[in-house]
């Protein structure tokens, strides 16, 4: 009976996390953001994903077996540069949208190039303790805000 109770509580927690990640991914895509899951990085490094995970992902969706690892936004439109290279639409992400990233616990890299993010978004970015890389080039974050981010996220490389 205790095992069943524990299993039900764990499943509730797990499915809630899946739901929150799915909602965050949908919102990021609506804002013209790009997403990389952890399995994408395996493939880039020549590591084969476990077959059962690939099968589960094909049947249930990525959110059930994978976590978002990287998210990119750019505030300017990037034109396609050739065959196999797709353009990148402009994103209008702003400070209020940064709350989305709290539902991505495995997020290691976040890129906000030329976006409307300001010092008002710094407190939200400081909560992303799993970040290893944060690119805020071309944002409206001041040098004081950058220093604050570097203090709060000592294991994260903050590019400005």
Return the bridge partners of 134, or none: 110, 158
- DSSP annotation of 79: -
Q: What is the pLDDT of residues 52-83, one digit of tens each?
A: 777 877 887 777 788 899 999 987 766 655 55
- Model confidence at 154, in pLDDT bands (50, 70, 90)? very high
* CA–CA gap between residue 138 and residue 37 (Å, rounded): 25
What is the pLDDT at residue 87? 60
Domain hosting residue 123, numbered range = 2-159
- For residue 35, what is the domain's CATH number? 3.80.10
Whether 108 contacts 35, CB under 8 Å = no
Distances (CA, A) of 114 to 124, 138, 145: 18, 4, 16
pTM, entire model: 0.84
| Count: domains in the chain | 1
**Sequence-ordered list of residues with C-beta below 8 angstroms from that of 127, at least 6 positions apart, any chain:** 102
Residue 11 has pLDDT above 90, yes or no: no
């Amino acid at each position: 009976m205790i095992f069943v109770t524990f299993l039900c509580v764990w499943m509730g927690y797990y499915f809630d996390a899946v739901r929150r990640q799915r909602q965050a991914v949908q919102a990021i895509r609506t804002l013209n953001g790009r997403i990389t899951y952890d399995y994408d990085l395996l493939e880039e490094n020549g590591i084969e994903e476990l077959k059962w995970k690939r099968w589960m992902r094909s049947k249930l969706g990525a959110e059930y077996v994978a976590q978002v690892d990287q998210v990119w936004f750019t505030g300017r439109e990037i034109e396609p540069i050739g065959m196999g290279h797709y353009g990148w639409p402009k994103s209008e992400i702003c400070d209020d949208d940064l709350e989305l990233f709290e539902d991505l616990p495995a997020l290691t890299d976040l890129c906000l190039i030329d976006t409307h993010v300001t010092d008002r978004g710094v407190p939200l970015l400081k909560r992303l303790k799993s970040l290893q890389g944060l690119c805020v080039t071309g944002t409206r974050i001041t040098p004081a805000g950058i220093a604050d981010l570097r203090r709060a996220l000592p294991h994260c490389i903050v590019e400005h």
